[in-house]
Amino acid sequence: MGPHLHTLLAELYRLTTRPPKPNEPIEVKPGLRIPRVAVEWSQAGREQAHAFLLRLPPFADPRGRSIVTLGRGAGDLAIEAARHGAARVTAIDMALYRMQLAEAKLEAETLPVRISRFRGELAPPGDEPVDLVLASQCFSGYWAEASNGRLESLVEEMSRPLRQGGLLAIEFRPPWKAPFGGAAGSRMPWAHLIFPESVIFDEFRRVRPDSTAHSFADIGINKVTVASFRRAMAASGLECLYLRTNVGDRRLAATIRVLANLPPLREYLTQNIYGVWRRG
């Protein structure tokens, strides 16, 4: 790409972007200061976890079950599962700040929840098998690249904590080709597919001088598509019991759901996937 074209595209892309939010540390309790973005993210954690549980079929109810929660907001999801009657819950979280906030929330109530930091294994050695794994947005983290087989091994790791007959419930949003699958701060649908990655991350670093990101992989976006997700689940050996896309209460979700049934539009209009699989 020539320098003049790069400059023009950069100026056009800049018009589509939102400025980053202020991220100064906030004291959430004596001795614990957390960046503002993580605090605001966590404030919506209970609502997001509650929505995930409500969007699962009745046979995946957490009541009375032993559970592992994984992915973005694993701590909040564990707390909400315990509030819904889970017998015991272990949350495995990659995000240190979100984990610390979940631990702070647990100080206010007595729940059967253990928070564990992700250290390269989704099933810690020696842990008892569980009835249910709840995996929220894991496919944009945990290095789930579809191109090198990591996606298939990630699914195997997710199901590893399960007892025989146990359930893996997944919330995957948004897939890579969804309108905002790039999650890089643009207000423009599909901007991550329209503009070159070099243009996107030149702007990303310009407004975030402390960032060294040069690619979507650097910010945890692994370009997992609907098709690659379905292939990985089909190859997993797990039995699919439930699968829904574009789940939501808004009227627009129903319209998008219909349009997404058209094969040429499926990848570009599927904004979320909810499913439950059983380990044989």
Residue 122 has pLDDT above 80, yes or no: no
pLDDT at 222 (0 to 100)? 83
pLDDT at 148 (0 to 100)? 58
Mean pLDDT of 171-178: 94
CATH match for 44-181+221-278 among 3.40.50.620, 1.10.357.10, 3.40.50.150, 3.40.630.30: 3.40.50.150
pLDDT at 266 (0 to 100)? 94
pLDDT tens-digit readout, 180-196: 998 888 999 999 999 99
Strands (E), 137-268: 162-172, 239-245
DSSP per residue, 79-145: HHHHHTT-SEEEEEES-HHHHHHHHHHHTTS--SEEEEE--S-SS-TTPPPEEEEEEESGGGSTT--
For the chain, the domains span 44-181+221-278
Half-sphere exposure of 147 (CA within 13 A, CB side): 3
Mean pLDDT of the chain: 89
pLDDT at 93 (0 to 100)? 81
Mean pLDDT of 243-259: 84
The answer to whether 82 and 107 are in contact (CB under 8 A) is no
pLDDT at 147 (0 to 100)? 56
From the list 95, 137, 85, 142, the residue with the least C-alpha distance to 115 is 95
The answer to whether 86 and 64 are in contact (CB under 8 A) is yes
Mean pLDDT of 84-105: 90
pLDDT at 143 (0 to 100)? 59
Q: Which residue has the higher pLDDT, 20 or 118?
A: 20
Mean pLDDT of 39-52: 90
pLDDT-derived band at 197 (thresholds 50, 70, 90) equals: very high
pLDDT at 129 (0 to 100)? 93
Residue 35 has pLDDT above 80, yes or no: yes
